[in-house]
Each structure stands twice: as C-alpha cells, then as structure tokens.
Amino acid sequence: MSEDIEAKIRRLRELGKATAEQEARPPKPAVTRPPRRVSKIGSLRERERKRRIIIGAAIVIIILLAISFAAYTYYQNRTLRELEKAKQQKIAEVNRYFTGELANDTAKFELIKQIQAAKSIEELNKIDVKKVYEERLAELQRRKEEEAKKKALEELNKAKAQQISAIEQAFEPLLAQPLPEDLKNKAIKKLNQLKQEVENAQSKEQVLAVDPTPYLMDLWKEYYYYLIDSIPTQKVILKKGEEKRIYTKIEAKYVISKITDLGELLQYTIEKAEMVQIALVLTRDRINGAFLSPGDKIKIYAKNGTKGQYIKIADEGYVDLVLLPTTAGQISLSESQSEGSTVSTSSTTSYSESHSTSYTPGDTTITNAQNANNQYSTTQSSSDSSSAYYNYNVNLAEVLKAIAAGKIEAPEDVKEQLSQYGWKIIDLEKDSGMLVLDPTARFLVIIEVPAEFVTDILNHKDMIYIAKITG
C-alpha cells in the first residue's frame, strides 16, 4: 500500500515537472485567423466545459494533496521511528563506552544531549561516540598523569624537606660541641653538600640514598682525636655508660678508630685521667693475700650487694703503700734449756759344768749325763739432771714509738732492721709455704687511681677486691 502511494506521488511529481516544462516553453506565434462569429449557445457550452474542467482539476488537486499529505505523514512517522531507534542505539553505544570512571562523566551526558537533540539520522551519524570516548579517556589519562606527577612532586618535596631536616638534626649535636675552627668549617661544608645533594635528587630513592652517617662518623672521630690530644695528662679515660677504662692517648685513639657504629661511638665520653691517692682498710683475702708491693699495677673490683655479682670498678691503678696490722708487729719468743747426767755399773759371773758316761754291754748303749750351771750378777746406777725456760715478747709498735720519741739506743740501726720487716714476713710465707698472718687480718692499703673512679670505690669500699696485674 505504501509503495503504491509512493509510486503515485512520483508520477504526480513527474507530471508536475512536465507541466512546468510545457509552461516554460515559449509560445508559438499565433496564426492570425479571421475572427469567427460565436454563438451564445456555444459560449455557454464553453463556459460549462471550462467550469467542469476547473472543478475536476480542483478535485484531482485535492485528492493529490490528501494523498501527498498522507504519504508525507506516513513517511514522517516512519522517519521519526527510525530516528528514535537510531538514537536508542547511539545512547546504548555511549553507555557501552562510558563505564567505570567515565560512567558519570560530563562528556557522556553531553553526548546523550546531542543525540537526543539530533533531527535526522544523518545528523545522528555525525556524532562519533568512540572518538569522543577516546579523547575523553586520553584527557582523563593525561589528567591522571599530571595528578600523579603533581603528587609525586609533592611527595618528593616532602621527602626532601624531611631528609634535610633529618640531616640537620644529625649534624646538630656535633655542631653544638666546642669544635676547633677548621673542624667546624669542615662540618658545615659537608652539611651544605649533603643538603644540596638532596635538593638535586630526582626521585624519592635518590633522596633517601643521601646518608649523613658515614660523614658524621669521620667528623666525630676527628673531634674525639682532638679531645684526646687536648688533655694534658699522658693517659685518658674512655667512659661508656657505667664502664670506665684508662688508656694512653695512642690506645684511646685506636679504640675510637675501631668503632664502626655511630650510635656506639656517641656513647663514649673522654675525660682527664687525674691520678689521686686513696687509703683503704681491707682484709688480707681481698688484696691478693697481701702479696703486693709499691708500684704494682692493679685492677679494682667490687661485689654488687643487690645482685650478688662482681663488677669492675677501676680498670687501672697502682699500689703506693701497704701497712701491716699491729698484730704483725708483736714478736713473741721462747727459749728452753736442760742438762742431765746418768752413771750405770754392771758386772756378771757365770759357771758351767757337764759330765757324761756311756756303757755298751752287747747291743745296748747306756749313757749317763750330768750338767750344772751357776751365774752371779751385780748392777749399780745413778742419774743427775737440770733444766731452764725463758719467754719474752717484743711489741714493734712500741719500738717505733720509742724510736720516734728518741727513747731507744741506736735508733738508726733499729730502723734499718725494721725497714723490711713486713715484706720479709710475706716473703717467708711464700718461701716456706706456711701462713703466718690470718687471712682476715686487716691491712691499710694506699692506692693511686684516676679521680673518676674514686666515687665508685668509696661507694663499694666494704666490698672492694684488689687484683694484681701480672701481664
């Protein structure tokens, strides 16, 4: 039905075109004919014919217009349906492309708006959804990259600021020390170099790779060497926490040079080894059995009363004097003498006599024997004896007092004899292998130690043990 209408419309269009062409042709020159006389009946007929023709033409035109309007209306509705279907397909294509992060993108809604506003399929086909999607995706990717770069740059700047702050904090304790001018300038120069390295870094990894520890290790060691050389004494004390040890300057530098951890190095402090003398009264069993001599090198230990363990108090010291107790200055001697004689006299007289007689009558032998013994003895004895016992004591302490008061004869000779009395007793103990003085005998020991150790020694004076260094 629709095809017949379309065919009729085409024929009407062709007919209209043909009519227009005929009207456009130039009129042929009219042939002049002599006028003819027209009758009234003929004219009426002519008018009626023309009227009929006009009415017929009008009816035909009306029919044609109705047909054309119907065809146009049908075509128009068909076009609208096809356009609406194409729009739905286009919108589905938009929804297919714009998903995920682009599901609510403005470009998507703009496309849908353009699709819905399209007036024809041709206009609709001009909307390239894929192209808009790719452009929008590329733009979104560029935006992501820019945001990522911006974020990375912010993180990099933040990491730089943190690393520079960490480096400055690491150098702060060193720069707070009374450094010599050349060492201070060296430290500041190295600090600025490290900060510049951080500023020039292009990545977070490069920033974190700037480590000030090796440079600080060298700078701190130089400062420790400076402190050691600045101390006027020949020996110095290296103190680490509760541990203290005395070294020569060369030994102290060597100990510092062998440290490889900065945290451990910073635990050390260097102090002047100022030697002082201190007197202690200790039992013999706490001073190496009293086998000490002036000048002996010693170490001092103490028993920790709370934990029951032994700790080292002083790493090095020297014996100046050991005084024996008064019990060792008391000399007791005893002497005994005895005499006797014994006289003994003895005499003995002996007499012996034997007789024997034998008979042999036939095969029988008869023997007759007689024996006689006599002994006489006389003994005489006498004895005589006598004995004597002497005991005396000498108090050396009183002798020394008498020498000091000038109340004794030949004081110099006496002092010379007593000068090695104490050591001779100890030496005799070693030589003889016999203990003369009791292990609990108390001795006065004067030792020389660095002043830094005196406080610890006095705090543990009742638990002190002195060890002699033999190697």
pLDDT tens-digit series, residues 283-313: 888 888 878 888 899 999 998 766 668 888 8
> If pLDDT is split at 50, 70 and 90, which confidence band does 336 have?
low
CA distance 411 to 377: 69
Please determine, for residue 276, whether its predicted confidence score (pLDDT) is greater than 80: yes
Please check whether residue 294 is in contact with residue 252, taking contact to mean a CB–CB distance below 8 angstroms.
Answer: no
Q: What is the pLDDT of residue 257?
A: 94
Q: What is the pLDDT of residue 88?
A: 87
Give the per-residue pLDDT at 401: 61
pLDDT at 43: 75
Q: Which residue has tokens 């005489």? A: 380
Of the candidates 94, 85, 68, 79, the one whose C-alpha atom is nearest the C-alpha of residue 13 is 68
Residues 156-195: pLDDT tens digits? 999 999 999 999 999 999 999 999 999 999 999 999 999 9
How large is the average pLDDT for residues 195-210? 91
Better-predicted residue by pLDDT, 42 or 282 = 282
76-87: pLDDT as tens digits: 667 778 888 888
Cβ neighbours for 373, distance < 8 A, ≥ 6 positions apart:
350, 351, 352, 353
Query: pLDDT, tens digit, for every residue of 139-155?
Result: 888 988 998 889 988 99
pLDDT (tens digit, 9 = 90+) per residue, 413-457?
A: 665 665 555 555 556 665 665 666 777 888 889 999 888 888 888
The pLDDT value given to residue 254: 95
* pLDDT score of 114: 86
**With bands split at pLDDT 50, 70 and 90, how would you rate the model's confidence at 359?**
very low
**Distance separating alpha carbons of residues 260 and 213, to the nearest angstrom:** 10
* pLDDT of 55 above 50: yes
CA-to-CA dists, residue 411 to 403, 407, 419, angstroms: 6, 9, 12
**DSSP state, 303?**
E
Q: Is the Cβ–Cβ distance between 225 and 259 less than 8 Å?
A: no
Cβ atoms 443, 424 nearer than 8 A: no
Count of C-beta atoms within a 10 Å radius of residue 12 = 18
CB 462 within 8 A of CB 303: no
Task: Please report the pLDDT score of residue 363 as a whole number.
Answer: 45
Residue 272, phi then psi, degrees to nearest 5 = -70, 135
Neighbouring-strand partners of residue 395: 330
Domain positions in the chain = 179-271, 274-325+437-468, 327-422
Nearby residues of 96 by Cβ (< 8 Å), 6 or more positions away: none
User: For 318-329, what is the mean pLDDT?
Assistant: 72
Note the pLDDT of residue 467.
92
pLDDT at 402 over 70: no
147-171 burial, b at 16+ Cβ within 10 Å, e below that, comes to eeeeeeeeebeebbeebbeebeebb
pLDDT at 186: 95
Other Cβ atoms less than 10 A from the Cβ of 138: the count is 10
Please, what is the average pLDDT of the chain?
77
More confident residue, 396 or 127: 127
Q: What is the largest CA-CA distance in the chain?
A: 258
What is the pLDDT at residue 362? 44
Q: Give the per-residue pLDDT at 288.
A: 83
Statement: the pTM of the whole predicted model exceeds 0.75: no
Percent of the chain having pLDDT more than 70?
Answer: 65
C-alpha 234 chain-centroid distance: 36
The 3-state DSSP class for residue 48 equals: helix
